Each structure stands twice: as structure tokens, then as C-alpha cells.
Amino acid sequence: MARGERRRRAVQAEGVRTAERAARGGSGRRDGRGGAPRSTAGGVAVAVVVLSLALGLSGRWVLAWHRARRAVTLHSAPPALPANSSSPAVAPGLFWGTYRPHVYFGMKTRSPKPLLTGLMWAQQGTTPGTPKLRHTCEQGDGLGPYGWEFHDGLSFGRQHIQDGALWLTTEFVKRPGGQHGGDWSWRVTVEPQASSTSALPLVSLFFYVVTDGKEVLLPEVEAKGQLKFISGHTSELGDFRFTLMPPTSPGDTAPKYGSYNVFWTSNPGLPLLTEMVKNSLNSWFQHRPPGASPERYLGLPGSLKWEDRGPSAQGQGQFLIQQVTLKVPFSVEFVFESGSAQAGGNQALPRLAGSLLTQTLESHAEAFRERFEKTFHLKEKGLSPGEQALGQAALSGLLGGIGYFYGQGLVLPDMGVEESEQKVDPALFPPVPLFTAVPSRSFFPRGFLWDEGFHQLVVQRWDPYLTREALGHWLGLLNADGWIGREQILGDEARARVPPEFLVQRAVHANPPTLLLPVAHMLEGGDPDDLAFLRKAFPRLHAWFSWLHQSQAGPVPLSYRWRGRDPALPTLLNPKTLPSGLDDYPRASHPSVAERHLDLRCWVALGARVLMRLAEYLGEAEVAAELGPLAASLEAAESLDELHWAQELGVFADFGNHTKAVQLKPRPPQGLVRVVGRPQPRLQYVDALGYVSLFPLLLRLLDPNSSRLGPLLDILADSRHLWSPFGLRSLAASSSFYGQRNSEHDPPYWRGAVWLNVNYLALGALHHYGQLKGPHQAQAAKLHSELRANVVGNVWRQYQSTGFLWEQYSDRDGRGMGCRPFHGWTSLVLLAMAEDY
């Protein structure tokens, strides 16, 4: 960035110098015929032209440089969270957590330079060669089901993992104390599946600790050469100790024989940990329990002498891993003890292990169950024990998927021209932290802006403090213009899991402002802590909304257009609109600046309404006066009808350069190619009945007496269009785009499948209109009851069948589709069960 800045300034300076020389009469060259200077008038004329060109070029360079600089400059508004809000001094209870959602089990600190811990495991001797090493959650690893049975988002969790014939249970619990986040303990239990008839396998567990180079790790070795414990020190954690306890049989305290190996080396980089361990499992060892036949296993050929690492390892981060190998079934405990917690009282605290750990885990599980029922009332509503367990798993999976990320994203600045004309390179955003839930641990283990608003609707009901932390971190990503990137890829671990073409975020691309949904809920709830947070967050919320309103403005007043549609490539049936969040939902067949997007206008209307109410509550009279007319205009029935009511279609719709006469046809050797027939595209309403058509209803922008409400309810309830036994389809079964691929390698995504986030908005809207007097009250109430039964019933059946929550569900047979587990917005099934909208 600095080199680019110097280059731009050099060009500007050269342009000014050229103009100055011209103004003085040229470069000093003489006319070839007489050696005399050119005429004064001619020289001045040339000087004026050259000066104008130079200043024009210089001005464009200055503007380009200014835009590029603002794109990667943090916003100047005061932060919504206190300084050092993630530190153990400010938030000790949240300092340690399961903030590595992409691994099956691991913990780290909320810190830019965290201390990380994790678990790997492998079944020995079940396949030829190196055993299958489990570590990171992968979509295609054949594992599952897996997920959190309980997770309170703070201090306790219990997870179950099925790995072939094995059943693993991973548990953790934290104990507060001291100045550094307190103590914590893990218990990992490995048992055979109840239905398994195969011989009990030999299993290796790998417990590891990773540092970045500044922390100190010192293994303490017993007389027999075995690792006794790991002591350490960091500036954030002070003194600490890790202890791997002797294994036992499940539910027993009697020790069980285990074979041990260690591996101690420099940190190769977090994305490379799995591969390093896999490549190091290259030596055979003997597992010799007393009185039993020995068995071979592959182990780590490690040494506990740091000098054996060689001079290249000195000063780097450390990676210390302990392998314990033994026969199923067994339990192993891994204990972290903080020096300041142990020194906090007159006598040392008992180690959180054995029977004390069992008691502590059970007390937390019971507290979770009681708090869950008190919060969501599922038992009181008559839901079955199985459905209650689904609700607990939905919440726990979401909370267990919260991560803490730190790093720099790549940003392509908005240069004020169409994307196809941009000629600039992406730049690094400043280093930033992000505390956020993730959509899917296996496939999307990072922050997504429009997903997070739906996530926090669930989290906010359970723990408002967690929601304030998440919202505050997202608002901390605001750049100088008020933009927030829609996908946050922060840190090496996150970056390693993203295809290169998706690493760069474009500063002209928006995303639905769903963070305003939990903001609206906080404002309505009136909790003093929430309102105090909203007062601090207001300048950033206002800046974010203002950027959305201005940057996505459409071709006519009160219209809006998503920037960032794909170009009309010959291989695409309908160019995608990724910034909308609805990806391949059909829009105008030929992208143009004349488009008007209905869903975006509705999101802006919601934003204007929420920000206006918040401004009024906070006494921000000037902002309320600014937003009041905008909110009123956007919600006015006449304006919405004028721009988006398609009389010929009988619904609200997008508008743009469109024709229905497009299809993909095979054309060797290119494969499937888009063919445009007749009629040719023209400016018209887009015939694509589906979720977009419902947005004035979904966001409750229609008056209960609106003449448009009835037709929308009728279409919603029609099985020929959107209604299915499993929830509302994303695209009508009557649409020519229904179930259609967008390219040869791009199957349908938002073209018929049932999505929980939009079905939840629909349930909330139907419940809303079912409570208000009007001609459609009874119909809305009836549809709410039926849709809730369909959605909840299908998610429950699929969970019973597969053990997973899914990204989307088939509108044809209800089966789960897409990635899994998907404890992001599919966890909204819990609020649907609770009828909490």
C-alpha cells in the first residue's frame, strides 16, 4: 500500500511540474525555423490545455487514492465495546472458550496471540497404512453425526461424536478464579457403539498445545521418562500448568493401562498441524498391558529435549503434543490450572478432575436444562422430550460454534465505477478481532454478515451479553465509509479453508443488514444493559445504515440495486447476486443499472424504521428527523406499489432488463451454454415468484388492511407455488427457474429448497398479522399454525433420521440437503418451537 501511495504521489507531482513548465512557455525548446520562442498566445493556449489535462489526471489520482485509503481505514466513531473487552481483566469468564469451531474439540483464548489447545484421535490397525487422523471438521470425512448436546456459551459443554464403531464424548468445564480466566478441565470418553459387534479397537488420543513463539512451555518429565505435566507462562495468562491425567474406565476411578508418546517441535503454522502429525506417525511401538497380548500401533517418535529440535526451532512458536494409546472403552482427562487461580485463596484448590469433575459436569448439565426450559418453555408448550432435546442441540450447536478470529482481510476498494472497469489491486484491511457464531463448523467456519443477524436472534434470548459482544465486534469492522465486509476471513486457519477467488471482499458489495433484527429486539425488550450498549453503538449503526442507503441507491428515488451481480457470462443461466444473500435466486436475465431490487428496498425500509426508533429513544433528534421521512416514504404503500407491484403478475417483484426466454443447452465442447430466445429482453418486472416476492410481508412493512396482503397470503398458501409440507419453497414450483441448474457445475441453491431463516421470518410475519385486527387476521393465524407444524415437524424428523441440522431441506421429500451440521440459522427452529418472534 505504501509503494502504491508513493507511486500515485509521484505521478501527481510530475503532472503538476509538466503544467508549470507549460505555463512558463513550454519546455524551453526553440521553434526550428527561426530559433525564436513560439507566440505568446499559442503558448498560453497550449499551457491551458496541458494544465487542464494534468490537473484532471491529478484529480482522478487523488480521488482514487482517497477511495482506496478509506476502504482500508477503520471508522473513527467510538467503539461500541470497552477497550480490551476481550481481555481476562475485563471479561474473565469469556477469555477461554471453544473458539475454534472448525476443529472437533479445542479451546483457545480470546487474544490476537492466543494459546491454543486441541484434540486429535485415530483408530489403530483398522486400515492399512497410516490410521485416519481426526482433527478438523470436514464435510466429506464420513464422520457423524456429531454435535453439542449441551453448551452454555460460557463455561460448560458436552459433545457427542460418532466415528464408525466408536462413540466419543468430549466435555469441558471452566472454574472461575484469579486474574487470568480461571481453570478448566476436559474429559474425553471413547466407547464402542452399542450395536457394534467388532473387536474392541486400539485408539490413540492426541492432546496438544500450540504457542506463537513468545510463550514459554516447559515439559516436566518423570523418572521413567514419561511426561508429568507441562508448565508455562505468558503475559496474558501468567503461570499455568497442563496435566494429562491417567486414563480410567468410563465412570470409574481405577487407572487403565495406556501407552504414551510425545512430540515437541516448532509450530509449523496452524493449518499444517494435522499434516505434521500424520507425517510423523511413522514409527511402530508396542502396547503391552499387563496380562494381555501386545499390539502394535503407530506413534510419535518424539523427544522432550528442546535442543533436539535444532537451532532453526529456537525462538519460534512451540507445538507440544501428547499421545496416549489404549483399548476402548476409556476416559482421559486433560486439566489446565491457572497460577493466579490457585494462588487466590489461603489453600490450593482441589484439582478439577475425577469425581469432582464428574460432579461439576453434572451440576452444569442440570443447570443448563433448568435454564433452557425457563427461557424457551418447550416442555410447558407440550413438546415431546425428543423435540426438547432437538431444541437444546440447536442452541448448543450454535453456541459451540462461536469463534474468536483475528487477522487482516483482503479488500478491493470501491473506485466509483462499475466493477468490470476497476483496475486496482486488493489491499489489506487493518488487523481486527471478531467474536462471532459461524454457519457451519464443517463448511463455513468463519463469520458471515447476514447469517450473524439470524444467529444473534437465538443467542440474544439465551445470553444478551454474548450478543452485545458479537454485535460490538462486527461493528468494529466498519471502514471509514461505513462498509462491513460480508464474509470475514481472518487468520491463517480461516484463510486456509477458503478458495482463493473468495478471499477478496469488495467494498461496494453490501449484504442484508440482519444485525438490525437483534437490535430491534433489544430496543423492544428495554433491558438497561442492552440500551446502554445501543447508545454506544448508535454512531456506528447509523454510519452502516447510511452507507447501505447511499451506496446501493437505484436508478430512481426510493429504489435500490444490489451492486456486485455476476456479469452475463455465456455459461450462466441467470447471473448470481451474491451480495443479496440469495445467491442464485433469479433476477433480471440481463444485469443493468436500471434494476430495482425489491428485497433490498425492504431491508433499507426496515433499517430506516429501526434506526429512527432508536434515534428517538436516544434523543438523537437530528438523526430521527433525517430518518423519519425516509422511513415513512419507504413504507408508503403508494411508493412500494409504483416501483414494485407487478399488476400482470399479481405480486411484488424486481424490475430490470429481462426475458424468460433463457435456457442452458449443451454445446460441445463448451458444455452447457446459455441461449437467449424470443422475446428479447426488455425493461419489465421479473417473473420469479418466491422469497423475494414476499419481502414486504416478511419484514412486516404492509398495513394489516393492505389490499396486497391477501394476494400474498394466497400465493404463500398455494402448493402450486410456495407451500410445501416441509416449509415454504424459496422459488415457486410454477417458475421456469424452479430446480434449474445455474451452470453445468452449479446446482440449484435458492431455487426451490426450504430455508429456515426465511421460513422463520414468514412465521414471525404470519404471527404478527394474526394478532392484528384486519380482513386477513384469521387467515394469517391459520397459516402460522400450519407452517410452524410443517417446518418444526420436518426438521425434527430429519434430526431423528440423520442426527444433523441441515443447511436447507428438500421441498419434495423434506430430506436435509447442503452442508451439515448447519447450526447457524437452522437453529431458528428453536424459536419457532418456542413461538418467539
Looking at the annotation, which residues are catalytic? 583, 807
Q: What are phi and psi of 257, to 5 degrees?
A: -65, 130
Nearest residue to 836 (alpha-carbon basis) of 458, 398, 369:
458
Nearest residue to 82 (alpha-carbon basis) of 612, 473, 540:
473
CB contact set of 315 (below 8 Å; sequence gap of 6+): 213
Residue whose cell numbers read 480410567: 248
Element (H, E) at 411: strand 410-412
Element (H, E) at 463: none
User: What is the rounded CA–CA span in Å between residue 747 and residue 757?
Assistant: 20
Strands 504-506 and 410-412 turn out to be parallel
User: What is the rounded CA–CA span in Å between residue 13 and residue 8?
Assistant: 9
The beta-strand segments (E) located in 595-718 are 645-646, 651-652, 655-658, 662-667, 671-676, 682-685
DSSP line for 91-119: -GGGTEE---TTBSSEEEESSSS--EEEE
Enter the DSSP assignment of 431. P
User: What is the rounded CA–CA span in Å between residue 415 and residue 35?
Assistant: 47
- 3-class secondary-structure state, position 426: coil
Distances (CA, A) of 236 to 114, 115, 252, 778: 9, 9, 36, 59
Enter the DSSP assignment of 452. H
- N-terminal to C-terminal alpha carbon distance within the chain: 46
The answer to whether the CB of 230 falls within 8 A of the CB of 217 is: yes
Angle formed by the axes of helices 385-400 and 777-802, to 10°?
A: 80
The answer to whether the CB of 302 falls within 8 A of the CB of 237 is: no
DSSP line for 257-291: --EEEEEEEE---GGGHHHHHHHH--EEEEE--TT
Cis ω for the linkage preceding 445 (within 30 of 0): no
User: What is the rounded CA–CA span in Å between residue 150 and residue 136?
Assistant: 20
Residue whose cell numbers read 508513493: 6
- 3-class secondary-structure state, position 436: strand
- Take residue 358 and report the three cell numbers written for it: 464428574
User: What is the rounded CA–CA span in Å between residue 283 and residue 261?
Assistant: 11
User: What is the rounded CA–CA span in Å between residue 713 and residue 769?
Assistant: 11
User: What is the rounded CA–CA span in Å between residue 827 and residue 837?
Assistant: 13
CB contact set of 482 (below 8 Å; sequence gap of 6+): 75, 543, 544, 545, 546, 547, 548
- 3-class secondary-structure state, position 292: coil
- 3-class secondary-structure state, position 696: helix
Strands 645-646 and 410-412 turn out to be unpaired
User: What is the rounded CA–CA span in Å between residue 325 and residue 202?
Assistant: 7
Enter the DSSP assignment of 429. P
User: What is the rounded CA–CA span in Å between residue 78 and residue 770?
Assistant: 41
Residue whose cell numbers read 453448551: 151
- Exposure string (b/e) for 187-213, b if CB count within 10 Å is 16 or more? bbbbbbeeeeeeeebbbbbbbbbbbbe
- 3-class secondary-structure state, position 623: helix
